[in-house]
Structure 1
Amino acid sequence: MNLRAALLSVISLAWASNLPAANNIFSNLDPEHEASWRIPTVHESAIQGRRILHLENIGTLSTIFPSTHRTENRPSDVGGTPIGLMDYFADCEPSTGNPTILAITIATSFKNVAAGSNITLSLRWHAPYHRPYSAAAVPRFSLVGRLEDISAEEVKGQNVAACFVKYHPDAAAWLPGNRIHESKWVRLVVEEIYWIGGFGDRAYIGWIPVEEWQSVTKEEIEKCRLPGEKRGWASWKSWLGFEQDNQGPLEL
């Protein structure tokens, strides 16, 4: 073994020895809670998903390019190819769990939908406080559905613009009627939910029925606490916000 190889070997061993224990990287739980965790139910997973929808505001819209591109200079071979692009959303219809979206009609996602594409909105939880962990341990999911225009009466009655701008102050520049781009209010009518709550040995992975998604109450969303939402980490049951005292939701 030459000197360079020997030095690299020593550096690698030293680096590896300083890594957190595998249990800390690939586990959602602190070691002392390993014996108490359980896999959440479908409904508990739906509650987590609805809280993520309430707290997050940016996701990925996935659509499919149409087979013909008469009005755009696109490569001829992208027809039928999916594309995922970042977009804004807001939880402005909490009684239904349907995300509100400000559709910029010139944007690719909305042109694809207008050409007949289906659409999904993919989200993942970004914990504000966390210890070293694997991103694969954190909940993420996709909402499969269709876009539906929100009527002018609904926009006014539900104060949609104010709700959306609360989530996205910069979006005030391109609200419907602006002089930059044509835009309109739409809702993603959720028809299917695919959920990955984390690692499969301690999280639910699979489909959440839309009826379960819609049945989540405001009170359940407010009581739920997501992993890393508060300083410190606790047991999986605590993450769901169901371990409470008389003072209200558990502070992690």
Structure 2
Amino acid sequence: MQLITILSGALLASTTSARSFLPSPQHIFSNPSSSDFKIPTVHESAVQARRVLHLENIATLSTVFPSDSSSQNDEPLSTLENRPTGLGGSPIGLMDYYSDCEPDTGNPTILAISIATSFKNVASGSNITLSLRWHPRDGAFHSAANLPRFSLIGHLEDISASEAHKSELATCFVKSHPDAVAWLPGNRIHESHWVRLVVDEIYWIGGFGDRAYIGWIPVEEWKSVTQEEINSISLPGEKKSWGWKEWL
């Protein structure tokens, strides 16, 4: 009986000791009033977000399906894709290509394929959100929950052929997506055109809340970030490293 008591006491002590290394639960996903870490400011978080936008090139476009009554206007296409009924108002998120071709504004450039669900939904009146997250390149293990991710809430704006030609959008876009050369505007496969996602709102999760900012970034902060600021920082796991350094 005495041995059991000793073992139970040792187990309790080891459990208590292990728990002391864990962050306080309320600090994991929210900004605490005090922290042992220096939490980035809103502007510093905007710079991080703009660097993620610059280095990544694939994101998720989220839209909602139109009501069944409005879909009736597109009956031949709905029949062709065999879309189930009752999807009106349901959200759908789909992967798509983007490029950071307008660094002065931070508005992502997208090659819109007219037949794609995301763009058909927008044409029917849907709002649209572009969501992306940072993928480390150093080959080390990183907690995905402690890495930056964010959503850009905005609206699509058509880019004219003359503006696209003047700003060399095709060259910029194909640099990030060589395969997209097959469906540039004027191709024989799909009808396509250039659009920009005009950023209206930004929701940011920089990582765990005791060491990163979590919340809204004003669009003025997003637009004010300079290329010099973007080039001056490194994201977690961007360069070769070992271990869980972003936790320390």
TM-score bucket of the superposed structures, by smaller chain: 0.7 to 0.9
| Structure with the higher fraction of residues in helix conformation | 2
Matches within 5 A, 1:55-134: 55-68=55-68, 69-70=71-72, 71=75, 72=78, 73-134=82-143
Mapping of residues 230-249 of structure 1, within 5 Å: 230-232=239-241, 234=245
CA contact 1:144–1:193 (8 Å) conserved in 2: yes
Matched AA of 1:65: F
Match of residue 138 from structure 1 = 147
Unaligned 5+ runs, structure 2: 1-20, 23-34
- Over the matched positions of the two proteins, sequence identity in percent amounts to 71
Q: 1:236 to 1:100 in 2, by over 3 A?
A: farther
- Contact 1:142–1:193, Cα closer than 8 Å, also in 2: yes
Structure 1 residue 156, shift from structure 2 partner: 1.3
AA in 2 matched with 1:96: T
Where in structure 2 are the equivalents of 1:1-252 lying within 5 Å? 37-68=37-68, 69-70=71-72, 71=75, 72=78, 73-232=82-241, 234=245
The offset of 1:65, in angstroms, is: 0.2
Taking structure 1 as reference, are residues 135 and 162 closer, same or farther at Cα in structure 2, changes over 3 Å only? same
Deviation (angstroms), 1:36: 7.0
Higher alpha-carbon deviation: 225-234 or 120-129? 225-234
When residues 208 and 134 of structure 1 are mapped into structure 2, their CA distance, relative to the original with a 3 A threshold, is: same
| CA shift digits 1:151-194 (9 cap, x unpaired) | 12210111000000000000000000000000000000000000
| Structure 2 counterpart of 1:28 | none
Taking the aligned partners of 1:165 and 1:47, their CA distance within structure 2 comes to: 25
Q: Distance in 1 between matches of 2:176 and 2:246?
A: 30
TM-score, length of structure 1 as denominator length: 0.78
CA distance in 1, matches of 2:98, 2:235: 20
**What is the SS of the residue equivalent to 2:141?**
coil
> 1:55-102 CA distances to partner (integer Å, 9 max, x unpaired)?
000000000000023220322121100000000000000000000000
Q: Does structure 2 retain, via aligned residues, the 8 Å contact 1:98–1:189?
A: yes
Aligned length: 209
Instruction: Give, as a single letter, the amino acid of the residue that structure 2 aligns with 1:64.
Output: V
Bigger radius of gyration among the two: 2
Deviations, residues 102-129 of structure 1 (Å, cap 9, x unaligned) = 0000000000000000000000000011
Query: Structure 1 unaligned runs (5+)?
Result: 1-21, 24-34, 238-252
Q: Distance in 2 between matches of 1:143 and 1:229?
A: 22
Q: Structure 1 counterpart of 2:57, which letter?
A: N
In structure 1, how many angstroms separate the alpha carbons of the residues matched to 2:189 and 2:139? 40
In 1, distance between residues paired with 2:247 and 2:50?
Answer: 17
Mapped contact 1:60–1:122 kept (Cα < 8 A): yes
Distance 2:177 2:125 in 1: 28
CA apart distance, 1:132: 2.7
Alpha carbons 1:37, 1:236 under 8 Å: kept = no
Query: Alpha-carbon deviation of 1:37?
Result: 3.3
What secondary structure sits across from 2:155 in the alignment? strand
CA RMSD of superposed structures (Å): 2.3
Give, as a single letter, the amino acid of the residue that structure 1 aligns with 2:105. T
1-structure distance, mates of 2:174, 2:36 = 41
Please state how far the C-alpha of 1:236 moved relative to its aligned partner.
8.2
For 2:180 and 2:246, locate their aligned partners in 1 and report how far apart those are by CA, in whole Å.
Answer: 38
Please tell me whether the aligned partners of residues 236 and 246 of structure 2 are also in contact (alpha carbons under 8 angstroms).
Answer: no
